[in-house]
Amino acid sequence: MLDHSSRPSSPSHMPMDALSEVLQDFRMSGVNYGRCELRHPWSVDFPQQPLLRFHFVGHGPCWIHTEAQGWQELRDGDLVLLPQGIAHRLASAPDVEVDSLEGCQVIKFGGNVCEVVRQGTGATSTLFCGSMALGSCALNPLITLMPPVIKGCDVAGNDPVVGPLLAAMTVEAAQPQMGSATILSRMADLLTARLIRCWVNCNGASTTGWLAAIRDPHIGRALAAMHRNPGHNWTLGSLAGVAGQSRSIFAERFSAVLGEGAARYLARLRMQLARELLGQNGLSVAEVATRLGYDSEASFARAFKRITNVSPGVVRRTIPGRIDMNFGF
């Protein structure tokens, strides 16, 4: 049914709560964090990038613009999460059009934390911004399902910790001391994780789709297993065994909930990972094929082109999109 791996290792036992299995792998590697003091008038464009972004407003004025929602005012203590890293603009007012980033002074504190200052005579906006990568490929389908923009205040009532965290970040951003930027980055990691969990808990009632599948006591275990070890020699029988069901019942239920069979789902998952490995990590086609469980480079290349309509060599030669390492801007 599925492409075979040359590695005979068996999957580890999966827990009953597959959603917890996926969420416990929620790890973020901070690309950059920046504490910003920008004097009006200022405006900064944020291009599309394959990383989660967030912006926390310690003190305004601050507005955010997205193509879908237009201009929205952000108030003191607001946090905006952009799970898919969509293009957007921040500004001290909607009518400020000139990008102000080149006029900023950037002070690096070491590691991935810095401070950004723009001098002037207008009102000062204090922000804390960052970009981060998720540490688990199992979360990719979840992030895809999330809305492009999430405001922390919209979900704060569903988690008693979110409100106090936002308040603590407000205090830390307003009264910077030694280590403030690093402390803010740790708070941002925790806050982002809790916001994503809040969204999951508030949107899990559907009977079909990925969220419904990962919550299913049987299908969810198989999904978590595939995401945790996509290169394993999975067959319909081995997946059904992980799910604790017969082959026929598992196959029928998997297709009913996810709208496609397990073989197709696994193949798409592997190709999604292959694109990342080829385009960003610089691995050879043969290395990616081995890592994802294919017996030969040729069989992997055929599967890749069948699903993506391009060859793996083309993806590997394509220069990945530039990610600006300047505090996520």
CATH number of 28-202: 2.60.120.10
Most confident residue range from 132-136, 144-148, 191-195: 144-148
For the chain, residues classed under CATH 1.10.10.60 are 217-317
- The listed range with the strongest mean pLDDT (166-175, 211-220, 253-262) is 253-262
Q: How confident is the model at residue 321 (pLDDT cuts 50, 70, 90)?
A: very low
How much is the pLDDT for 91? Answer: 95
Model pLDDT, residue 99: 81
pLDDT at 138 (0 to 100):
60
Task: Answer yes or no: is pLDDT of 9 > 60.
Answer: no
Question: Residue 317 pLDDT more than 50?
Answer: yes
CA distance 182 to 110: 10
Q: What does residue 63 show for φ and ψ, rounded to 5 degrees?
A: -125, 150
Q: What is the pLDDT, as a whole number, of residue 222? A: 93
* Structure confidence at residue 11 as a pLDDT band (50, 70, 90): very low
Task: Output the pLDDT for position 283.
Answer: 82
For residue 243, pLDDT over 90 is answered with yes
Average pLDDT over residues 42-63: 90
Rounded to 5°, the CA angle 288-231-250 comes to 145
Q: Does the pLDDT value for residue 237 go beyond 80? A: yes
- Please give the average per-residue pLDDT across 207-216, as a whole number: 86
105-108 and 113-118 as β-strands: parallel, antiparallel, unpaired?
A: antiparallel
Q: Where in the chain is the domain with CATH 2.60.120.10?
A: 28-202
Confidence of residue 12 (pLDDT cuts 50, 70, 90): very low
At 217, the amino acid letter reads P
What 237-244 contacts at long range (C-beta under 8 Å, 24+ apart), as own/partner pairs, is: 238/11, 242/11, 242/14, 243/218, 243/219, 244/218
Say which range, 2-11, 135-144, 153-162, has the weakest mean pLDDT: 2-11
Which pLDDT band holds residue 120 (cuts at 50, 70, 90)? confident
pLDDT score, position 23: 66
pLDDT of residue 28: 64
Q: What is the CATH number of domain 217-317?
A: 1.10.10.60
Question: pTM of the predicted model, to two decimals?
Answer: 0.72
**Lowest-confidence pick of 62-76, 212-226, 254-268:** 212-226
